[in-house]
Amino acid sequence: MSRFTDARDQAAHWLNARAAAFDGSPISAALMAGIDKATEQRWEAAVERAALLPGSVRPQKVKALTDVFARELATVGAATGAAAASPVVGTGATLVAGVAELAWFTARSGDLILTMAALHGRRSPTLDERRAWVLAVLIFGSSAREGFTSAASQLGLQLEQPAQRVPLAKLRAINGILGNQLVRRYGARRGAIALGTALPLGIGAVIGGTANYSAVKALAKNADRFFSKLPYSTIETTAIEVPARP
């Protein structure tokens, strides 16, 4: 058996032992904090970011956006994992750093999704609509359109029809359905990466950097696909939106 295989097996055993004893509640809180921050506070910044992207056509702007975010989040992921290589940093502290990185990654993923929406010409979305976009893309990835449509159908709302309007009350109910799936689907993927960054001997740095880079590339592609053809036409605003608390 090769040294690589031995190291891989030891790493898997170490990760499984910590995963079994790990409390997932901080992950849930980190996810929601990241989503709240992006959707409540950063739409205007996303619009400005989209306007400043280089390129004369949308595919060029999408590539520029993807490259910037992939580099940034890969660097953050690698830095978080690198802490595990230090003998003075304990596993517990590294896991805490991993959860903090998870909140940051989720917020920045929200920024990326909202910027993609602006690139596709989405204008003045409500807070609930922004939240629905972010949740759908994070949870369902390449099948975000289908996932959103499925959530709507659970409420008796059949989408994919010409000029389909979604009542605001229904949209909020859709967000409730999506929110219930967040930890189980998106959280499970990102939680595994957060644990992986805690692997010692520099392995965590490799996992954190490469996982974030690949995740951003996929996220941008999925968001671009989602906004190319939303499963509804407009949101029928029948209630006053309550501003986010400062």
Assign residue 185 a region (left: φ > 0; alpha: ψ between -120 and 50; beta: otherwise). alpha
Q: Where are the alpha helices (DSSP H) in 120-141?
A: 127-140
pLDDT in the model for residue 163: 73
Q: How far apart are CA 100 and CA 96, in angstroms?
A: 6
Rg (CA), the chain: 19
Q: Name the band, by pLDDT with cuts 50, 70 and 90, for residue 192.
A: low
Summarize pLDDT for 164-185 with one digit per residue, the tens.
889 999 999 999 999 999 988 8
pLDDT in the model for residue 193: 55
Phi, psi at 165, each rounded to 5°: -105, 140
Q: Looking at the predicted structure, is the pLDDT value of residue 88 above 50?
A: no
Angle at Cα 55 formed by Cα 50 and Cα 61, nearest 5°?
45
Q: What are the residue boundaries of the structural domains of the chain, listed by start?
A: 18-236
Q: What is the DSSP letter of 184?
A: I
Assign residue 35 a region (left: φ > 0; alpha: ψ between -120 and 50; beta: otherwise). alpha
Residues in the chain: 246
- pTM for the structure as a whole: 0.76
pLDDT in the model for residue 4: 44
Q: How far apart are CA 101 and CA 112, in angstroms?
A: 16
